[in-house]
Amino acid sequence: MKRYRTLIVAGCLLLLPTLVVGTLALRAVRLEESRLSAQVVEAARQRLLTSSESINLALTEVREGMLTTLRELPADGLAQRLLEWQRGNPLLRNAFVWEAGQGLLLPAAGRPASAEEGDFITRYQGLFSQRIPWDVPGGDAPAPAALAVVSSRSELRQLSQAAPAPAAVSSRAEGWRPWFWENRLYLLAWSTSVDGRLRYGVELEMMALLPRLVDTLPPKPPAGETYALLDDAGAVCFQRGPAVIDAAIRPLLALP
């Protein structure tokens, strides 16, 4: 009996270290799995951050190109030059000229040439009536620098500056105005004449801008990942990856 108890005690003494070692090994495996999962999430976050910054940088180049072109447009025949630029540039949707004391000159407020011009006048009535200020805090803040797809950015840069021959540069007020209308985002680039009486600019064509921005997304996301561009209402404008994205899907990572 005594020998039997001794064997039991000896077995327990051998089993206890084995259980401790097994528990520690299991904990180490779980910690390693957590570490690897964290690395996967961090790598995905870095890819998303790079894509987001690339889009911001591409938009910054468009903004700077538009403002530079507006700033350099000769005052002579300004309205006609703006119309020619708009008609020849797929990134532009509308052009406008507003004069203090006269109101909207282009498009003509009382006789728009098309339904599109009529919608444009209605959309920005708050600005043209001076009820809402043109300057908006943060509207001209530069985007963070990042590595982007060179070919897409080069095309955007060329389009944003494709305009008639420039004149001498002068110091004047100018800006980049985000505008929300009927739950949709619009963008205006505007400048003023030297004396400040004229305010003129262009409205960007968002549907032409979007296809050029998506080239900054990874062409082939890693397995299990899906990238999506959302509009201001949260709807998917474009995506790369197999996931079906709807209101019930919560993204692992999201950046503005």
Give the burial class of 28: count Cβ atoms within 10 A of its Cβ; 0-12 exposed, 13-18 middle, 19 or more buried.
exposed
- φ, ψ of residue 138 to 5 degrees: the values are 85, -5
To which residue do tokens 């005594």 refer? Answer: 2
Reply yes or no on whether the pLDDT at 151 is more than 50: no
For residue 8, pLDDT over 60 is answered with: no
* Residue 146, pLDDT above cutoff 50: no
Give every CB contact of residue 90 below 8 A, 6+ residues apart in sequence.
159, 205, 208
Q: Quick: pLDDT tens for 162-178.
A: 555 444 445 689 999 99
Buried b or exposed e, range 177-195, using 16+ CB within 10 angstroms = bebeeeeeebbbbbbbbee
What residue segments make up the domains of the chain, in order of their start? 40-216
The DSSP line for 50-92 is HHHHHHHHHHHHHHHHHHHHHHHS-STTHHHHHHHHHHH-TTE
Q: Which helix (H) or strand (E) holds 95?
A: strand 92-99
Q: What is the pLDDT of residues 199-215, one digit of tens each?
A: 999 999 988 888 877 77
Please state the pTM of the whole predicted model. 0.69
